[in-house]
């Protein structure tokens, strides 16, 4: 890892921890690196979602019923 790391405590289910340990062995990577990558990916997805919300902020709002009608009309439902 290229950045400075800090120790923290997280609580995982025993099944999740077992799966992480197996993956760590299979990939020759430490559990902490797998967790860091997973958290980084989740945060990046959140950032993408927020960007999409901001880009669509000016769009008009439509009702749920109208959305369903549009999806049906377009053959997507």
Domain segments of the chain as ranges:
15-73
Question: The whole model's pTM is what?
Answer: 0.64
**Does position 70 have pLDDT exceeding 90, yes or no?**
yes
- List pLDDT tens digits, range 19-63: 999 999 999 999 999 999 999 999 999 999 999 989 989 888 999
* CB-CB contact of 25 with 19 (8 Å): no
What pLDDT sits at residue 3?
73
34: Cβ–Cβ under 8 A, 6 or more apart, which residues? 20, 23, 24, 27
- Residue 37 CA to its chain's centroid (Å): 11
**Does position 2 have pLDDT exceeding 70, yes or no?**
no
Spell out the alpha helix ranges (H) of the chain: 14-27, 31-55, 64-73
């Amino acid at each position: 890892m290229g950045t400075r790391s800090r120790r923290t405590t997280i609580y995982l289910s025993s099944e999740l921890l077992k799966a992480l340990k197996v993956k760590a062995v299979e990939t020759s990577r430490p559990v902490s690196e797998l967790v860091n990558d997973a958290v980084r990916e989740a945060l990046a997805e959140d950032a993408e979602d927020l960007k999409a919300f901001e880009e669509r902020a000016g769009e008009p709002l439509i009702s749920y019923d109208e959305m369903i009608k549009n999806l049906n009309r377009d053959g997507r439902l």
